[in-house]
Amino acid sequence: MTVRIATMGMAGCSGCHIALLDTGVELLNLLKDVELVYSYPIVDAKNPIPPNIDVALIEGSIRTNHDKEMAKAMRKQAKFVIAFGACSAHGGVNGLANTFDAQEGVEYVYHKTLLMAQKQVPSEHVPQILPENLRLSDVVKVDFIIPGCPPHPDEIAQIITTLLAGETPKLSSKSICDECPLERLTEPPKQLRRIHEIPEQGICLLSQGFLCMGPATRAGCGAECTRRLMPCTGCRGPSETVWDQGIVMLDALAAMEKDEITNFKLSRLAGTFARYTYASSKLDNLRKGLKKK
Amino acid sequence: MTNEDPRIGVFVCKCGTNIAKVVDVPEVAEYAKSLPNVVYAGWQIFTCSEEGQNIIKRHIKKHKLSRVIVASCSPKLHEPTFRRTVMEAGINPFYFEMVNIREQVSWAHMKQKDEYAEATEKAKDLVRAGVYRAARLESIGATTQKVPPVCMVIGAGIAGIAATTLLADNGYEVHLVERSPALGGKSAQLGFVFMTDTCGVCVPPRHGEMARKCLSKRVILNDPKIHVYTQTEVKQFSGYIGNFQARLHSQPRGVDIETCTLCGKCMEVCPVEVPNEHDFGLANRKAVYYPFPQAVPRAPVIDFDSCTKCGKCEHACPVNAINLDEKFKEADITVGTVIVATGFDVFKPEGLYGYGEYPNVITQLMLARILDPMSPTDGQLLRISDRKLPKRVGMIQCVGSRDPNYYSHCSRVCCQVAMKHAVYIKEHWPETEVTIFYKDIRLQGKEYERYYLDAQRLGVKFYRADIAEVEEDSGKSLKLTVDHHNGTKESFPVDLLVLSAAMIPAKGAKELARTLNLEVDLDGFFREYHLKLAPVDTTTDGIYLAGACSSPRDIAEASFMGAAAASHAAIPMSKGEVEVDLAKSIVDESLCIGCANCYAVCPYSAIYMEGGVAKVIEVACKGCGICVVECPAEAIQLRHYRDKQIFYQIEGLLANVGASKK
């Protein structure tokens, strides 16, 4: 029996679809048991969403009312919906748009930027922008997430294989540090260091004062970045016990370097601590609270 | 959480009219009945009373309650009371939840009558939050910690000695640590002390023997229970009640106390002479010297800062008690409890009223040295510049105290001290005029009024005035200018000016606070756990305060505070153990990434790193939750205040948002 899989893209960069294709030979193996019934980057998808979909992979965040309607339509046809990638799972980088008012953003793009200056904001034949960038689970019920920006091809293949075997896949409940080979020091860093500075080999980046989101980020990628001395930016979202990736890391860093952190502006905080999760972070409540004042 | 649904009982308290005047208590109780899992709700006039507690117990049995909520006052006040109540009824004490509708509701809105209705709604919101939280509470046990009968007392002044002798009398071992070379603290500098006019070095008496007791070698140095460390400071400190570890760092004395026969030959031959700090430089001393004539331990001490190491004393000593190459010593001790009695320092009023500029401006403590029968002046009143009897003595009160530019507190003893010295001068040198310039005279306490009356009878002049200026004339006399603040000024000539300088935190108090993890107040004194209800306790279990280290105190107060601290410290030591509940931090070691953030921020040193993960010493943990907040992997939770419990409480608090706005 073949499994009917559909994929869909919302507000995003199609990077997750590329990662899906990046599974390479594994993809060819999978396709033996899979019928790809709907997938705009891979097969022609001008037709309406077909019925009886077993698994739907939805990439991207919900930015327009079109995204919202499409997500709902897919949910109706699909038995198992997967939020595919950081945008869909946590709001993604797109979520940082929530630090601005949506309408002001539209005005800015159509009136203030050089190329679009004095142009009218289109109102016909285009979907309307939503006041906020949402994650998939804000509009429909989501059965599973594949985190990452983009998700790791090996993990995608492994999850689909598990699903094909009729089992429920599981994500690691631990944090990146669990997979990271760098050695932790038992002393907190003396000072914060900037990303362009050269880290020492073999020593935990956080211990060295680099802002590494590893501790609050879900494991499963094999710590690909940190093992190459690139601080984790937290693309895989919060680990199981972390209730808010950005705030938890902010708290942790504040304990180490009070002055520098408390002087950060919200826009910097959001981009630094909640780069992929701002749309689902309580940090946004801070902005809303400030706006009310 | 258990599988069974919790059965919650809500008891709303009127607290007489304290709560009932503002909050409609029966309405709150009625509302509580509608909340999820609540099987009983009612109100009482005084829930904390014996009767109120019995009602709670009865309802626990009748309704088979598994959770109890009391909506009344601050948990600081009665949480222990009700935890005991539910425990007696067979419920785990941590299944009790307290909602504060007095301090946070009725008292907050008492003065605005138009807010009473809203206050009732607020009380309902808080009760609802409590009900949500109560459903998620967990059962928490306790552990015990052994407390050995050993106490460390830091500071050998009045309070420290009172605590030490009392503990030793009760059979406890005491390590008495003193920074200076001799015992006695500031009181050793006082020739006679107010109230009884007895000798300063002889207080406090141990029971049964009234005189010359405390500082005599026989009592403290020969007591096998007391270990005295002079010239010693606490270098490192860690641990928790029952297991405090201290590293004591002793400066070399240069003279062996045991072999020294007090012949005094070393002092005869020593060629170095420096001013004696005990007498404020009124006399000189050698580099090897007695700190003061009655000093205990009774052996000379070498001042290695001024010693030239010429070796003459070593040759002169007939018993080879002197070792000029002696090094510092370190000792590690483990104690069950600690009493901090580090006392105070006298404010140095540099730049005020000519102090430091004119020789005849001195402090009360220096006057005490002059008037001491054992002083270099043989107790004769004289002024510094010409060593002649002053004809006019002026005293200025509140120097540095009650002054927004220096210290905000009242030093509490200066009025008595000024009165004592004024009376003494008038009794011995009746022709000398004494004028006291004051802001307020504050003489409280037994027998103090008598001083005031004596001073008035003897002709001491009291002048409520603000001294604007002090100038010196050619004869080294001083001219005080009083500003009446109405355009007129008045001058007073005096020969000797005595400043009643403030009592301030002892030198090094801040560093000691950091070493021992003590809190300090705005003026820099150690902070007690509760000013009235727990004045000798600190926020760390097993560490107690005595004497002027927590506030200016006189000798009588320091004495009974030392006794109070000793009796508090004796409680865990006499029981031999303390019970510690486990509502403390707990580390999920599978999630811990070993970043040591928690170890770095813990204010109670309750976390240590082992095998790459953090471990909590439950006895030392105070449950403040800082580690929970800073943990980047959310591997630490605080039992009784888990994130989920708090979020659920917030959910309860907000459950009616919108509905209550109408």
pLDDT at A264: 62
If you measure CA to CA, which chain B residue comes closest to A246?
B632
Tell me what pLDDT residue A263 has. 62
Query: Using the beta-carbon criterion (under 8 Å), do B632 and A184 form an inter-chain contact?
Result: no
Out of A215, A251, A256, name the one closest to residue B593 (CB).
A215
Domain boundary among B140, B164, B189: B140
Distance CA B561, CA B159 (A): 7
Task: Evaluate whether A176 touches A223 at the Cβ level (below 8 Å).
Answer: yes
Assigned domain for B499 exists: yes
pLDDT bracket for residue A293 (50, 70, 90): low
Q: Which residues of A touch B625 (CB under 8 A)?
A: none
**If we measure between CA atoms, which residue out of B382, B201, B368 comes closest to residue B279?**
B368
Average model confidence (pLDDT) across chain B? 90
Strand B433-438 vs strand B461-464: parallel, antiparallel, or unpaired?
Answer: parallel
Residue B661 is assigned to a structural domain of this protein:
no
Q: How far is CA A152 from each of CA A18, A85, A95, A278, B505, rounded to the nearest angstrom?
A: 11, 9, 21, 22, 62
Which is nearest to B163 in space by CA: B337, B293, B331?
Answer: B337
Interchain contact, A251 vs B630, CB within 8 Å: yes
pLDDT at A194 over 90: no
- For residue B659, is it within any domain? no
Confidence band for B207, pLDDT divided at 50, 70 and 90: very low
Q: Is residue B657 part of a domain?
A: no
Residue B225 within a domain:
yes
Interchain contact A215–B (C-beta under 8 A): yes
Q: Can you give the pLDDT at residue B33?
A: 95
The 3-state DSSP class for residue A256 equals: helix
| B572 shares its domain with B589 | no
Is the same domain home to B445 and B315?
Answer: no
B571 lies in the same domain as B593: no
Residue-wise pLDDT for B472-520, tens only, equals 988 888 999 998 888 888 899 999 999 999 999 999 999 999 899 899 9
Of B596, B633, B634, the CB nearest to A188: B596
Which residues, 6 or more positions from B76, have their beta carbon under 8 angstroms from its beta carbon? none
Are B596 and A184 inside 8 Å of each other by CB?
yes
| Mutate which: A218, A240, A256, vs B, most B CBs within 10 A | A256
**Which residue range is the domain that position B624 belongs to?**
582-639
pLDDT tens digits, residue range A94-131?
A: 999 998 888 888 888 888 887 776 677 887 888 999 99
Taking each helix axis from N to C end, the angle separating A245-256 and A283-292, rounded to the nearest 10 degrees, works out to: 90
Q: B170 with B224, same domain?
A: yes
Burial B491-521 (b: 16+ CB within 10 A, else e): ebebbbbbbbbbbbbbeebeebbebbbbebe
Q: Would you put residue A30 in left (φ > 0), alpha (ψ -120 to 50) or beta? A: alpha
Rounded-to-integer distance, Cα B203 and Cα B212, Å: 7
Residue B257 inside a domain? The answer is: yes
**Where residue B213 falls among pLDDT bands split at 50, 70, 90?**
very low
Q: What is the mean pLDDT of residues B174-196?
A: 87
Mean local confidence (pLDDT), B571-586:
94
Mean pLDDT throughout B414-435? Answer: 94
DSSP per residue, B555-593? HHHHHHHHHHHHHHHHHHHHHSEEEEE--SEEE-TTT--
User: Which residues in B lie closer than 8 A to residue A231 (C-beta atoms)?
Assistant: none
Number of CB atoms found within 10 A of residue B5's CB? 12
What is d(CA A194, CA A75) in angstroms, rounded to the nearest whole number? 43
Distance of CA B163 to the CA centre of its chain: 14
Distance separating alpha carbons of residues A195 and A210, to the nearest angstrom: 7
Q: Which residues of A touch B610 (CB under 8 A)?
A: none
Q: Pick the closest to residue B84 from B58, B59, B51, B48 (CA basis).
A: B48
Q: Which of B612, B632, B643 sits opposite A216 (nearest CB)?
A: B632
Interatomic CA distance for residues B259 and B293, integer angstroms: 19
CA angle (B10 as vertex; B9, B15 as ends), nearest 5: 140
User: Higher model confidence: residue B245 or residue A31?
Assistant: B245
CB contact under 8 A, B595 and A215: yes
pLDDT of residue A190: 73
Domain shared by B122 and B21, yes or no:
yes
* Alpha-carbon span B153 to B343, nearest angstrom: 12
Q: Which CATH number is associated with domain A3-97+124-164?
A: 3.40.50.700
Structural contact between residues A179 and A222, judged by C-beta atoms closer than 8 angstroms: yes
| Interchain proximity A174–B594, CB inside 8 Å | no
Q: Is B524 left (phi over 0), alpha (psi -120 to 50) or beta?
A: left
Q: Which residue in A199, A243, A201, A238 sits closest to A220, CA to CA?
A: A238
**CATH code of the domain in which B12 resides:** 3.40.50
Q: Residue A252: which of B591, B599, B630 has the nearest Cβ?
A: B630
Is the same domain home to B261 and B316? yes
Q: Following DSSP, what letter does each residue of A65-133 receive, concatenated?
A: HHHHHHHHHHHHHEEEEEEESHHHHH-TGGGGGGGS-HHHHHHIIIIISTTTTTPPPP-SSSPPEEEEE
Separation of alpha carbons B524 and B540, rounded Å: 18
Burial of B527 (0-12, 13-18, 19+ CB in 10 A): middle
Give the CATH number for residue B613.
3.30.70.20
Name the 3-class secondary structure at A38.
strand
Residue to test with chain A: of B586, B608, B630, most A Cβ within 10 A:
B630
The C-alpha atoms of residue B416 and residue B455 are separated, in whole angstroms, by 11
Cis peptide leading into residue A150 (ω within 30°): yes
Total domains in chain B come to 5
Residues shown for chain B: 662
Residues of B in contact with A178 (CB under 8 A): 593
**Average pLDDT of the residues in B332-343:** 96
A79: closest CA among A59, A55, A48?
A55
Q: Looking at the predicted structure, is the pLDDT value of residue B20 above 90?
A: yes
Q: Is residue B362 predicted with pLDDT exceeding 70? A: yes
Q: Is B298 within the bounds of a domain? A: yes
Tell whether B482 and B361 lie within a shared domain: yes
Using an 8 Å CB-CB cutoff, list chain B residues near A187: 596, 600
Contact yes or no for A255 and B626 at CB 8 A:
yes
- Measured between beta carbons, the chain A residues lying within 8 angstroms of B597 are 188, 252, 255-256
d(CA A89, CA A59): 9
Neighbours of A170 (CB within 10 A): 10
B647 contact residues in A (CB cutoff 8 A): 243
DSSP state of B549: G
How far A107 CA sits from the closest chain B CA (Å)? 33
pLDDT for B192 equals: 80
Q: Specify the range with the lowest mean pLDDT, choosing from A199-213, B205-219, B585-599.
A: B205-219
CA–CA distance, B433 with B459 (Å, rounded to integer): 8
Residues of chain A with CATH 3.40.50.700: 3-97+124-164
**Percent of chain B surpassing pLDDT 90:** 69
Name the DSSP class of A204.
-
Other CB atoms within 10 A of residue B318 CB: 9
pLDDT at A260: 63
HSE-CB for A92 with a 13 A CA cutoff: 32
Is the Cβ pair A186, B630 closer than 8 Å?
no
Q: Domain check: are B322 and B337 in the same one?
A: no
d(CA A51, CA B474): 112
B634, A256: Cβ pair inside 8 Å?
no
| Same domain (yes/no): B311, B359 | no
User: Which residues of chain B neighbour A215 with C-beta distances below 8 Å?
Assistant: 593, 595, 632-633
Q: Which residues of A touch B629 (CB under 8 A)?
A: 251, 255
- CA A89, A93, A99, A102 dihedral sign is negative
Contact A243 B588 (CB under 8 A): no
The complex's ipTM works out to 0.75
What pLDDT shows up at residue B170? 92
Q: Is residue B274 part of a domain?
A: yes
Q: Which residue of B has its CA nearest to A175?
A: B633
Residue A2 has pLDDT above 80, yes or no: yes
Least confident range from A126-140, A271-285, B34-48, B73-87: namely A271-285
Look at residue A261 in the predicted model and tell me its pLDDT. Answer: 60
Nearest to A88 by CA among A55, A64, A56, A61: A61
Say which range, A139-143, B92-96, B517-521, has the weakest mean pLDDT: B517-521
pLDDT single digits (tens) B594-622: 888 888 888 888 999 998 899 999 988 98
DSSP classification of residue B193: -
Contact B530, B394 (CB under 8 A): no
Residue B38 structure tokens:
């609540």
